[in-house]
Structure formats: structure tokens, C-alpha cells
Amino acid sequence: MDLRSLKQRFALIGNSSAFNHALSVAVRVAPTNLTVLINGESGVGKDVFSKIIHSLSPRKHNEFIAVNCGAIPEGTIDSELFGHEKGAFTGASDTRKGYFEFVDGGTIFLDEIGEMPLGTQARLLRILESGEFLKVGSSKVQKTDVRVIAATNKNLLELIQKGKFREDLYYRLNTVPIAVPPLRERKEDIHLLFRKFAMDFCENHRIEPIILEEDAQALLNAYPWYGNIRELKNLAEQIAVLSKERLINADLLSTFLPSTDGRDTRLPMVVNGSEYQDSESSFREREMLYTVLFEMRNDIKQLREMLLAMSQGKGIEPWEKDIPQPFPSEYSPSRSFEVKALESSSAKSPIVISTDQPKDAEVVEESLSIADKERELIEKALKKHKGKRKDAALDLEIAERTLYRKIKQYNIQI
């Protein structure tokens, strides 16, 4: 079957090369019994591809069932998939067929396969390799002939590294991979899909159709579409219902598009040519340094104000607020000032600041280098904890390996 006929049969909209390639792979693999793994973000239409494969396969006259593995509780998923015997567990009042027994000879679509528990993954692997399974509470081996199509919106290789997905099952499922592109990679299809969704909705509800102007189409293409086709369809129906205008320009469209501020761009952070793996410790480290720098800036600002007042022969007004803590020695300017508080029975005593420096004394600012301050803090922490790097890292709120790297970087002697 050519792609044009396939799109007409299944009401598919799109001409992007990535979308056409995914469809062509589905058409070529459909007549076989090979296991298929469909990869794609949520909302791209992975379930449509599973139906296409089943409809074009020799099993098309047999049962097809779609199972969302993430929607079934871990304690009952084995019973749902493989069935159970009477009395196998509390509440098992009768023998029950599982999906694999019910759909024998047909196709089962396992959506969100990455959510499947490890124990169930082992049972699924046995079916894929030998077609055999056991009902929960039974010791009798049963056979089934089921084609498995799986789908996921997660990176299964990352789950394997974390011990949450079986590597042998991954390679058994991934016999033929199909990558369904996200909507933001199908920009030439976005307006076509929007127009289709809007027209269908308006016809069904007898509403005057809406039309996008060119600037609105450009804005539609620029939007990232994290919810993919599902989000686009919702937007088209929302505008058709709520908009008083039938000709939609960019300004009007922008009132319906949600803000993307703070959304995940799904791009890894790269530092020195590699993905940044220690993001939490780095964040704490930067937060600590920024806090120190902001405190220093406020302290230096107060010093400048006092120096300016003294150089102009003005008196220092007493503060009617809490007195800040004295500067630590490492933050003090190169020329020291003596701050004397006059004792008084009053709770709020005026502060008299005296100096032996001349009025035109030059103020030398302390270095604000982040690297210098970072080294200084690390040395203090190590000294405080008598060289115990683990305790120093906890005090600094950074990872221990980050501390090791910093010690080596600054050549700090312990």
C-alpha cells in the first residue's frame, strides 16, 4: 500500500519526511510477526501506528487489544496480562483469563512499556521467547501466539542503566524500532492538522469555521508543542468555541497559547563538551557563592557610604534598626576601621564610628573574584573539619567528588 492511500484510509494528516519515514517502516513491518517498539513523546499518536500495523498484518481478523502498562497497579498487572487461578490471592473468587490468553492469535499493544514492573518484564520476556506463560497461582504452562507491539515515551536505555528495565527485554522488543517525530519537528504539518481539527469540530457543532492569517500560522509553527498533536487539537477546538472573531491573527492567537516560561526544553546541559552530570551539587555550589557575593556587595556599599560621609565631614546618623554583624576578617577591607558602640541603658544606642585615617584616605576594594572566594571557603571548611573532606563537603553543601575536584583545581594542601 502506498502512503497516500494509507493516509486516506486512516485519516492521517502530514507530509513531513520524518512522519512519512515512520509510516513506511510501519507498512513494511506489518506483514511480518516481528516485535515492534514505537518511540515517541506523549501525544504524537503512537497508538495509531499500532493499529496500522495490526490492520495491515495477517492477524487483522483476530483480536487487537491496547493495554496501558502505567495505568495498571503493580499488584494486579500480572493478573491482568496473564490471568489467575481461583483462590490465587484475596479476592480471586474465580479463574480469569489474561489479555495474552484472550488475544491468542491476535495483537497486543503494550503502551508505556517503561512503566512495567521488573517481575512482569521477566514474564513478558518468556512469552516473547517461547510463547509460554503461567497464570498467577498456577503451575500449568500455557501457550499463546500473540504479536507484541510496545510503545514508550521514555529512554529505555537510561532506565536500563538505572536498573529499572531489563536489557534482554529491551533488545527483544526493539527488533524493529519506529520513531514517531514530535510535532515541533513537523512544522509543515502543523497548520494542516490545525485546519483539519478546527473544520471537523466546527462541522460537528455547526459553528462558523475559523481561518488563520499568515502571521498566526507563523506563530503556530514557532510554538514548541510539548503536548504534540493532542495539545494542537485541544487548542483548535478551544479557539473555535471561545473566539468571537473567525479570522484569527497572531495577536488573537497568542491569547490562547499558554506561556512556555520555565518549561523543559528537553536539551541536556553541556559543560566542556560533555553532559553535565552533577547538576544538583553545582547548583548548591553556585547558590553558596552568589549568597556570599551579595552579602559582600551590601557590606561594601555600607562602607562606601560611611567613608563618603566622613570625607565630607558629616556625622554618622545613628541607626534605628538592627545592627548588622561585624565583618569577618576575610571580608574586611585592607585598611581597618574601629567601630565602637557607646554603652547605654537604652536598648537602641547610637553608634559612633571613629577612624585614624585622613579624610582623603584612599579606599582599596577587595577582590571580588569568584574563584578566590570559592577557594577561601573551601580552605575554611577543611580547616574547620580538620581536613575531613566528607564533613567539609556536607558543610559546604556540595558533592564530595565536587570538593575533590576543587581541591585539585586550586592545589589546596590539606
Residue 59 has pLDDT above 50, yes or no: yes
- DSSP one-letter code for 331: G
Shared domain check, 174 and 26: yes
pLDDT digits (tens, 9 = 90+) for 364-383: 455 667 778 888 888 888 88
Residue 327 has pLDDT above 80, yes or no: no
Of 124, 156, 179, which closes a domain? 179
pLDDT digits (tens, 9 = 90+) for 75-100: 899 999 999 998 888 888 888 999 99
Least confident range from 78-87, 158-167, 203-212, 318-327: namely: 318-327
Q: Give dist(CA 89, CA 91) in Å, integer.
A: 6
How wide is the angle at C-alpha 394 spanned by C-alphas 300 and 405, nearest 5°? Answer: 85
Of 162, 179, 196, which closes a domain? 179
Share above pLDDT 70 across residues of the chain, in percent, rounded to a whole number = 77
Q: What is the mean pLDDT of residues 203-227?
A: 94
Tell me, what CATH number does 227's domain have? 1.10.8.60
Shared domain check, 118 and 248: no
- DSSP one-letter code for 391: H
pLDDT at 314: 57
* Residue whose entry in the numeric block shows the C-alpha cell 495474552: 100
Least confident range from 72-76, 182-186, 208-212: namely: 72-76
Shared domain check, 307 and 196: no
pLDDT at 336: 41
- 270 part of a folded domain: no
pLDDT digits (tens, 9 = 90+) for 22-53: 999 999 999 999 999 999 999 999 999 999 99
- 261 part of a folded domain: no
- 153 part of a folded domain: yes
Under 8 Å between Cβ of 319 and 352: no
pLDDT at 302: 75
Q: Which residue type does 41 have?
A: E
- 266 part of a folded domain: no
Residue-number span of the structural domain to which 313 is assigned: 279-414
Mean pLDDT of the chain: 82
Under 8 Å between Cβ of 231 and 43: yes
Q: Is 35 left (phi over 0), alpha (psi -120 to 50) or beta?
A: beta
- 29 part of a folded domain: yes
Shared domain check, 214 and 310: no
Output the DSSP codes for 265-329: -----EETTEE---HHHHHHHHHHHHHHHHHHHHHHHHHHHHHHHHHTTPPPPPPSSPPPPPPPG
Counted domains in the chain: 3
Shared domain check, 339 and 377: yes
Shared domain check, 204 and 162: no
Shared domain check, 145 and 93: yes
Output the DSSP codes for 25-93: HHHHHTTS---EEEE--TTS-HHHHHHHHHHTSTTTTS-EEEEEGGGS-TTTHHHHHHEE-TTSSTT--
- DSSP one-letter code for 406: H
Shared domain check, 354 and 212: no
Shared domain check, 161 and 123: yes
Shared domain check, 355 and 227: no
- Nearby residues of 173 by Cβ (< 8 Å), 6 or more positions away: 35, 37, 113, 128, 148, 150
- 350 part of a folded domain: yes
pLDDT at 344: 42
Share above pLDDT 90 across residues of the chain, in percent, rounded to a whole number = 57
Shared domain check, 228 and 139: no
Tell me, what CATH number does 105's domain have? 3.40.50.300
Of 179, 194, 209, which closes a domain? 179
- 333 part of a folded domain: yes
SS3 238: helix
Shared domain check, 163 and 215: no
Q: Are strands 132-134 and 141-143 parallel, antiparallel or unpaired?
A: antiparallel
- 264 part of a folded domain: no
